[in-house]
């Protein structure tokens, strides 16, 4: 790891450091915190879904982006894809135990952001009224 990228504190003792340029945890963090990754993990927290059900739940995601997101999350061990050998094939997606732990933390952040949205809107109004930067 790039020791210059280590922030002060306990992070220096970790095997992985997301602040280091070449750390593989950075890619995982991108999959989790990207718009579609976070929303997909959050949606799967309450239930398993078939692809199109999940696409409806994550309003606005394209079929291509959802497919790419699910592949990345499955590769990272956060989502399990269960394909049933039926005609037509039935594929369900659900969180793995690790995915569930991450989704719970994400949902705490999501709920906080939702609850804080009035404060965010007020801050944006103040900023915009001053002409931005």
Tell me, yes or no, whether 51 lies in a domain: yes
Tell me, yes or no, whether 17 lies in a domain: no
Tell me, yes or no, whether 85 lies in a domain: yes
Tell me, yes or no, whether 10 lies in a domain: no
| Tens-place pLDDT, residues 36-82 | 999 999 999 999 999 999 999 999 999 999 999 999 999 999 999 99
Tell me, yes or no, whether 21 lies in a domain: no
What is the model's pLDDT at position 6?
46
Range of the domain at 54: 34-129
CB 69 within 8 A of CB 44: no
Residues 18-49 as b or e (16 or more Cβ within 10 Å = b): bebeebeeeebeebbeeebbbbbbbbbbeeeb
What proportions of the chain, in percent to the nearest 5, are helix, strand and coil? Answer: 60, 10, 30
d(CA 18, CA 27): 9
Tell me, yes or no, whether 67 lies in a domain: yes
- Is 113 or 1 the better-scoring residue by pLDDT? 113
What's the burial of 17, exposed, middle or buried (CB within 10 Å: 0-12/13-18/19+)? buried
**How many domains is the chain built from?**
1
Q: What's the CATH code of the domain at 97?
A: 1.10.10.10
Tell me, yes or no, whether 91 lies in a domain: yes
């Amino acid at each position: 790891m790039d020791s210059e990228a280590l922030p002060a504190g306990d992070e220096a003792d970790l095997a992985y450091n997301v602040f280091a340029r070449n750390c593989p945890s950075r890619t995982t963090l991108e999959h989790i915190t990207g718009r579609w990754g976070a929303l997909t993990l959050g949606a799967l927290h309450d239930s398993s879904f078939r692809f199109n059900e999940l696409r409806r739940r994550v309003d606005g995601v394209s079929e291509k982006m959802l497919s790419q997101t699910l592949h990345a999350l499955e590769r990272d061990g956060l989502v399990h894809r269960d394909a049933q050998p039926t005609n037509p094939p039935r594929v369900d997606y659900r969180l793995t135990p690790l995915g569930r732990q991450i989704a719970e933390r994400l949902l705490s952040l999501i709920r906080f952001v939702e609850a804080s949205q009035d404060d965010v809107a007020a801050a944006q109004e103040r900023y915009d009224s001053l002409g931005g930067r």
